[in-house]
Chains A and B, each alone.
Chain A
C-alpha cells in the first residue's frame, strides 16, 4: 500500500497515494482538470497547457499533469486566473484551427469542441491569415489534416511507446510543425488505427468511416471482436441496422485503448456481396436456393435414417462460433447422433496444458496478468503479428513497470526491442533453449509463460515441469488462433477416446454424414467417399461448395452468446445488427432438433439457457454472471473440462494468421484486402 498524502483541492481535503499526479488526484475526487496532451499510460508532455492550475506558494500557474501531490499542497482549479488561462489557451489554439466542424468527422465527439464549449470564448479575435496545408492520405485507412492538428502528440506516442512501431513523428518547427509518417508521404505500419481514435480532434480520420454519418446517429454496441483469440472488445457504431464503424473509444474492454486493424475495420466481411442469405440444397448435382423448411427437412430425414441403421457421423465444430453453439453441437452429436467423432481445427494444445496443471489452481494468466506480472517468457510466438493485444500488454508492462520480458523465438520479434533477454532457436529447439535462461528466470519474483504451437503434446508437459521447477509462482498461456478457439476445446469439441479425429473423418470412405459448423476443413484436403455433407457458414467456402445442404449462418456481430479468449476469459457477445436471411448456428441446430423431434432432449436453443447449463456442467465455467452481464470478462478455472487427452499433438497446427489475414473472414474483408494489396504494390 503506497503512503497516502493529504492535499486540498478547491477547499476540500482529499487523500491520494504519494507519487500520484495532481490531475489524477483531482479526477478521483470528481474535479475535472481539462487536458489534451495528458493521456494516462503515455509519457508526459505538458505541451497543451490546458491543465494549468493555481498552487499556493508557487509563483506561476503549474501544469497539473506534471505536478505530484505533496502533503499540505493547496490547489485551486477554478479561480478567475485559471479560468482566464484556459480561455486564452483555447483562443490561441483556435487561431489557426480551421472552422471545419460542419465537414469534420469528429464533430459530436471532438474534445476541442467539448473544451471550447466548456472553457472557451464565444468569439475569436483572430483576424489574420490562418496557416494552411492540404489534407493528406497516408494509408488506405488513415487521412491526416494538418490544420486541424493541435499537436498534442498523442498519436506519435501511442505509435512509438504503445505499439513500438514508431511510424509517426514531428517535423519542422514552430507553428509549421507537422505530424509526419515514416515513409515521407505514407505510413508503413500495423494499420491498427489507434492514432485515429486517440486523436482528440479530426486531424486523423478513418478512410472507411469518413463522411458517412454523425456519431449521434449511431447506436454503439460493445461486443467481442470475431477475429483473433485475444478477446478485445470492439464497439460497433450501428445506424439503420448497418455497421458503420468499429472502435474502442470508450476503452471499456479488457483491451483498454488497444484495438488492431481487424477489430477496428475488418467487420466489413459481414455485408460482403457473396454473403449467403438463404439455405442451399443440392438438387441433381447442383446447389440451389431452398426454403428453410426444405433444407431442415432434408437434413433431419438423412440424420434420422443414418442414426437408425447405426451409420457413421463426423462432426467438425468451429473456432469462431459461441460457447453455446459448440456446447449444443457436441451434445447433439453425442446424445442424439450417438457419435464421438467430434473435432475442430486445433490451433493450440490447451488440453495438454490443463492436464499438466491438474490439481493446481491460479495457474492460468489473464490478459491483465500480462500487464501486471513482473516477468513474462514468450516461447515460439510473434505476438506483435499474431496476438497484437497480448503484445501491447507486454510492452505496456515494460513501459510502466519495467517488467522483464524474455523471448525465445525462431525469428526476430518486436519484443526484442525491450526484452531482458532474447534467444533465437531453430524450430523445435525452444525447450532446449530454456535451460540457458533458468538462472535468470529463477531470480524473478514471478513469471508468466506464453507459448505457441511449437510446444504441444509431451512438450507441454516438459514446459510445465520446467516452470514448476523454478520455485517461483508461474502462470501459463497457451496461444490459440481464433476468437473462440479456447471455448471450442473447453466445450468438448474433441473426439472421444478411440473415435475419429478430423483427418480420419475427412479420409474415411465409409463416413455417412459430415456435419461442418463454421469451419472449412476441405479447403486443403479433398473429400472422400459419397458422404452426406451439411455445412453452416457465412460464405460459399470450398467445403460449402461440396456440401449437400448449406445453412447461411450469422456472424459473431449478429448474435448473442459467449466466447472465451486465449486466457480463458469468458465474455459476452452482444448482437449489433440483424442478419439478413442468415440465422445463428444455435438457432439452426435448434430448428434441426425440432425437425428431428429431439428438441426436448437437447433443451432450449436460447443462448442464456444454454449458458446456464454450461455453467453447471462444464468444469471451470461457473464464472460470475454479473461480471459477464456488465460487459466484463470472467476467467474460467484451470480444470480439464471433459476432455480426455487423445495424444494427437500432430493435429495441433496454428494457421499463423497475421495482422492482415483472418482465415475465411479475412478473405471477405475489403479493408484487409486493400491493405494487403497496398503493401504488395510497393
Chain B
C-alpha cells in the first residue's frame, strides 16, 4: 500500500482507513461504518441529499473548486434521458498524487460516494475514468467493484432499497487534457480528448449527451462522511464557504513529502515546517506552488500568514487548485522551473485552439533557448507578453494553466532571467549546486 507516515496535525476523515490492514477490502470497509451513509441516503429524499451537500460547503477537489451541492442541483431529474455519474480519476496535474492513494487504500469509499450521487440525481450507472498509467489501480478498483456486486452493494435493487446502480472502470491512455471535464467525456466516448463548447454543461449534456455529475475522486470520497455525520459537521472542519478537509500532496524540497489530510484553512508555514518537516538541508524557501503547476507561483514572502483554502489563495492571486504543493528552496533555478512547466503544457496541449497550441510551443522553444544561454533581454518581456496573450483567450483552462505560472515566475524572479543573459551559464548548475538535496 502506497502511503507515507501520517502526521499528528492531520484531520483524518477521508484517510481514516489508510494504514489499516486490508484497508481496501469490503470487510474492513463494512466493519468501519462502510456503506452506512448509502443506507441512510437511500431513505432520504433526493432534495435532502443535495441540501446536505450544500450545507457541507464541499467544493470540487480536482482543482476548480466549484461548490459540489450546487453542481448536483443543476442536473434536471425530470429529463427523460438516463443520467450518469462520472468519476474523474485522470489525476495528471503535476504535483498531485492524492486520488491514487484514495483508490488504492480505500476504494469502497469512492464506490459509496458514487452510489449516493446516483441517489441524488436518479442516475443508475457510473464510470470511473482512470488514467492509463494507473493500471494497477484499475485492477484494485475492479476487484472492489466485484466485491461490492458480490455483497449486493452494486447491481439491481441494492440491499433491498429498490435502487439500481452499475459501476464500471474505464481506462485513459495518456493525456492530461482528459482531466478537463468535457474532454474527459469526449475521451469516454472513444474520441480525441478535445473539450466541448459550453454551455451546455455536463449537468445537462454530459456523458453520451445525457445529464451527468462529473466530480473528482476526492470529492466523491467526501460524500459518505457528509451524509453519515451531516453536512454541518463537515463544514465545521473547514472555514466559512470552504468546508471539510483537503488531501494535500507535499512535494519538492521537503524532509517529509507525502499526502496529508489537513483542514481547510491550514496555515502554509505550519504545513511546510511541521507537517512537511521543513526544507531539505535546512535551506531557505524560495518559491511555493499551492495547488499543482497550473497555479501562479508565490515567493517566500507571500507565504507569510497564508492559509490553505480557496478564498485566501484567490486573494493572494493564486489558487488552491488540486492541492499539489510544490516547495522550492533557494538553490532552484526558476528559469529551469519555468521551462519544465512550459514543456509540460506544450506537450499536453490538445491542439484545438490557436493561442494554446501555438503559444505553449512558442514559449517552450523560447524558454529552452533562453535557459541554454542564447536569450536576449527583449525575450524576457516577450515571455510575459505571450503568456498574457494566451490568458483568458483559450478554449479551455489549459491555456491559462500554462500562462499563470509563467507570468508569475517571470515577474517575481525577473533577475534570474537576467542572470541567464549574454551566454552566461545557468548560475545554479555552474556553481555545482545540484537542484537535488
Binding site for B on A (CB under 8 A): 44-50, 52, 60-61, 66, 85, 88-89, 91-93, 95-96, 125-126, 128-129, 131, 150-151, 170, 172-177
- Return the contact of B393 from the options A52, A66, A175 (Cβ within 8 A): A52
Which residue in B197, B354, B369 is a CB contact (below 8 Å) of A150?
B354
Q: Is the CB of A89 within 8 A of B197?
A: no
Q: Is the CB of A48 within 8 A of B354?
A: yes
Query: Could you say which residues of chain B place their CB within 8 Å of the CB of A88?
Result: 355, 389, 393
Which among A45, A66, A128 is the interface contact of B366 at CB below 8 angstroms?
A128
Which chain B residues in 325-365 approach chain A with CB under 8 Å? Answer: 346-355, 357-362, 365
Interface string of B376-418 (1 = CB under 8 A from A): 0000001000000100111100000000000000000000000
Residues of A within 8 Å of B362, CB to CB, are: 92, 95, 126, 128
State whether the Cβ of B192 lies closer than 8 Å to any Cβ in chain A.
Answer: yes
In the complex, what residues of B have CB within 8 A of residue A95's CB?
A: 358, 361-362
Provide 17 A-B residue pairs closer than 8 Å at the C-beta atoms, listed in order of the A residue: A44-B197, A45-B197, A66-B197, A92-B355, A92-B358, A95-B362, A128-B362, A128-B366, A128-B369, A151-B354, A173-B192, A174-B347, A174-B348, A174-B350, A174-B351, A175-B346, A175-B351
A65 to chain B: closest residue by CB: B197
CB distance B358 to A85 under 8 Å? Answer: no
CA distance A623 to B395 in the complex (A): 50
Q: Mark B186-227, 1 if CB is under 8 A from A, else 0.
A: 000000100001000000000000000000000000000000
Cα separation A126 to B379 with both chains bound (whole Å): 10
B325 CB to nearest chain A CB (Å): 28
Contacts of A61 in B (CB 8 A): 392-393
B89 to chain A, nearest CB (A): 21
Please report the C-alpha to C-alpha distance between residue A96 and residue B354 in the assembled complex, in whole angstroms.
Answer: 11
Question: Cα distance A89–B360 when bound, in Å?
Answer: 13
B388: nearest chain-A partner, CB-CB: A88
Q: Is B175 located at the chain interface by the 8 A CB criterion?
A: yes
Beyond known contacts A46-B395, A88-B355: 20 more, CB 8 A cutoff:
A45-B197, A47-B395, A49-B355, A85-B393, A92-B362, A95-B358, A96-B358, A129-B365, A131-B361, A170-B192, A170-B351, A173-B175, A173-B349, A173-B351, A174-B346, A174-B347, A174-B348, A174-B349, A174-B350, A175-B346
Q: Are B353 and A48 in contact (CB under 8 A)?
A: yes
* Minimum Cβ distance to chain B for residue A593 (Å): 65
Min C-beta distance of B326 to chain A, whole Å: 24
User: What distance in Å separates the Cβ of A124 from its nearest Cβ neighbour in chain B?
Assistant: 11
From B192, B347, B350, B354, contact of A49 by CB (8 A): B354
CA distance A430 to B181 in the complex (A): 49
Return the chain B residue nearest A60 by Cβ: B392
For A172, what are the chain B residues with a Cβ–Cβ distance below 8 Å? 351
With both chains docked as a complex, state the minimum distance between the C-beta of A110 and any C-beta of chain B, in angstroms: 17
Residues of chain B with a CB closer than 8 A to A45's CB: 197, 352
Cβ < 8 Å to A, chain B residues 98-133:
none
User: With A and B bound together, what is the CA distance between A129 and B361 in angstroms?
Assistant: 11
Where chain B touches its partner, the secondary structure class is: helix
| Interface range for B | 20 to 34
Chain A binding surface, main DSSP class: loop
Given known A-B contacts A49-B394, A60-B392, A88-B389, A174 and B357 have beta carbons under 8 A apart: yes
Instruction: Please state if B354 and A93 are interface contacts (CB–CB under 8 Å).
Output: yes
A175, B389: Cβ atoms under 8 Å? no
Q: Which residues of B contact A177 (CB under 8 A)?
A: 351, 357
Residue numbers of B with Cβ under 8 A of A are 175, 192, 197, 346-355, 357-362, 365-366, 369, 382, 389, 392-395
- A126 and B363 CA atoms in complex are apart in Å by 10
State in angstroms the CA–CA spacing of A170 and B360 once bound together.
20
Q: Which 10 A-B pairs have the closest CB atoms?
A: A88-B389, A177-B351, A128-B365, A92-B358, A174-B349, A175-B361, A174-B351, A60-B392, A95-B358, A47-B353
Q: For residue A49, which residues in chain B have a CB less than 8 angstroms away from its CB?
A: 353-355, 393-395
Minimum CB–CB distance for B331 against chain A, Å: 29
CA of A118 to CA of B392, assembled, Å: 23
Distance to closest chain A CB from B309 (angstroms): 22
CA distance A46 to B352 in the complex (A): 9
User: Would B392 and A151 count as touching, CB distance under 8 A?
Assistant: no
**Nearest A residue to B174, CB-CB:** A173
Say yes or no: A92-B175 contact (C-beta < 8 A), given A60-B392, A66-B197, A151-B351: no
Q: Chain B: which residue is nearest A59 at the CB level?
A: B392
CB pair B357–A151 under 8 Å, yes or no, is yes
- Given A47-B354, A47-B395, residue A92 in contact with residue B389 (CB < 8 A): yes
Which chain B residue has the least Cβ–Cβ distance from A44? B197
Complex-state Cα separation, A92 to B360, whole angstroms:
10
Give bound CA distance, A95 to B197, whole Å: 26
Residue of A nearest to B347 (CB): A174
What is the CA–CA distance of A49 and B362 in the complex, to the nearest angstrom?
17
Closest chain B CB from A164 CB (angstroms): 18
Bound CA–CA A89/B355 (angstroms): 6
Q: Which residue of A lies closest to B358 (CB)?
A: A92
B393 A89 Cβ-Cβ under 8 A: yes
A129–B369 Cα distance when bound, in Å, is 11
User: Contact at A91–B395, with CB atoms within 8 Å?
Assistant: no
Judge whether B350 and A173 touch: CB under 8 Å: yes
CA distance A46 to B195 in the complex (A): 11
Most buried by B among A66, A92, A126, A131: A92
Contacts of B346 in A (CB 8 A): 174-175
- CB neighbours (8 Å) of B382 from chain A are 125
The one of A46, A91, A131, A174 in contact with B197, judged by C-beta atoms closer than 8 angstroms, is A46
- Give the docked Cα–Cα distance between A125 and B382 (Å): 8
Q: Bound state CA distance, A89 and B366, in angstroms?
A: 18
Tell me which of A61, A126, A131, A172 has the highest count of chain B C-beta atoms within 10 A of its own C-beta: A126
Q: Which listed residue (A60, A89, A176) contacts B354, Cβ 8 A?
A: A89
Give Cα distance in the complex from A95 to B361, angstroms. Answer: 10
Q: A385 vs B349: C-alpha distance in the bound complex, in angstroms?
A: 40
User: In the complex, what residues of B have CB within 8 A of residue A44's CB?
Assistant: 197
Query: How long is the Cα–Cα vector from A45 to B194 in the complex, in angstroms?
Result: 11
A357 to B197, CA, bound (A): 49
In the bound complex, how far is the Cα of B232 from the Cα of A245, in angstroms?
Answer: 74
Bound-complex Cα distance A172 to B352 (A): 11
Residues B361 and A174 in contact, CB atoms below 8 Å apart: yes
A174 to B344, CA, bound (A): 11
CA distance A93 to B390 in the complex (A): 12
Kindly state the separation between the CA atoms of A170 and B395 in the bound complex, as whole angstroms.
Answer: 18
B345 to chain A: closest residue by CB: A174
Q: Give the docked Cα–Cα distance between A390 and B359 (Å).
A: 43
Set of chain B residues within 8 Å of A128, measured between Cβ atoms: 362, 365-366, 369
Instruction: Please give, as numbers and ranges, the residues of chain A lying within 8 Å of B393 by CB-CB distance.
Output: 49, 52, 60-61, 85, 88-89
Question: How many angstroms from the CA of A459 to the CA of B179 in the assembled complex?
Answer: 60
Once bound together, how far apart are the Cα atoms of A231 and B359, in whole Å?
46
Of the residues A60, A93, A129, A173, contact of B358 by C-beta under 8 Å: A93
Chain A residues with Cβ below 8 Å from B358 are 92-93, 95-96, 175
Please indicate the chain B residues that have their CB under 8 angstroms from the CB of A91 in the complex.
389
Closest to B359 in A: A92
Determine the distance from Cα of A52 to Cα of B353 in the docked complex, in whole angstroms.
12
Instruction: Please give me the residue from chain A that is nearest to B353 by CB atom.
Output: A47
In the complex formed, the residue of B with least CB distance to A175 is: B361
CB-CB under 8 A from A93, the residues of chain B are: 354, 358
A175→B192 CA distance, assembly (Å): 15
CA distance A482 to B65 in the complex (A): 64
B157 nearest CB across to chain A (Å): 38
Task: Give the distance to chain B from A637, nearest Cβ to Cβ, in Å.
Answer: 45
- The distance in angstroms between the C-alpha atoms of A497 and B430, with both chains bound, is 104
Known contacts being A91-B389, A128-B366, is A175 close to B353, with CB within 8 Å? no
CA distance A457 to B199 in the complex (A): 54
Chain B residue contacts of A129, Cβ below 8 A:
365
Q: How many Å lie between the Cα of A210 and that of B352 in the bound state?
A: 29
If the complex has contacts A128-B369, A173-B175, are A92 and B354 also in contact, measured as CB distance less than 8 A? yes
Which residues of A lie under 8 Å from residue B392 when comparing CB positions? 60-61
Taking the closest CB of chain B, its distance from the CB of A332, in whole angstroms, is 62
